[in-house]
Amino acid sequence: MKRFVLDFLRRGAMAAGIGPVVLAVIYLILQQSAGMETVTVSQACIGIFSLTALAFVAGGMNAIYQLERLPLMMAVLIHGCILYICYLVTYLLNDWLEVGIIPLIVFSLIFVVGYIVIWAIIYSIIKRSTANLNRILQQKQQEAEE
Spatial separation of the C-alpha atoms in residues 26 and 37, rounded to whole Å: 13
pLDDT band at 91 (very low <50, low <70, confident <90, very high): very high
Spatial separation of the C-alpha atoms in residues 113 and 20, rounded to whole Å: 25
- Between these two residues, 76 and 15, which has the higher pLDDT value? 76
Q: What is the pLDDT of residues 58-77, one digit of tens each?
A: 888 888 888 778 888 898 89
Spatial separation of the C-alpha atoms in residues 139 and 25, rounded to whole Å: 47
> Is the Cα torsion angle 81, 22, 121, 118 positive or negative in sign?
positive
The chain-wide mean pLDDT, for the chain, equals 87
Q: Are 56 and 12 in contact, with CB atoms under 8 Å apart?
A: yes
pLDDT of amino acid 115: 94
In the chain, % of residues over pLDDT 90: 36
Nearest in space to 66 (alpha carbons), one of 78, 81, 54: 78
Spatial separation of the C-alpha atoms in residues 6 and 11, rounded to whole Å: 9
pLDDT of amino acid 80: 94
Q: Are 15 and 54 in contact, with CB atoms under 8 Å apart?
A: no
Domain locations along the chain: 1-97, 99-146
Per-residue pLDDT, averaged over 99-122, amounts to 94
Q: What is the pLDDT of residues 17-57, one digit of tens each?
A: 777 888 888 888 888 887 777 878 888 888 888 988 998 89
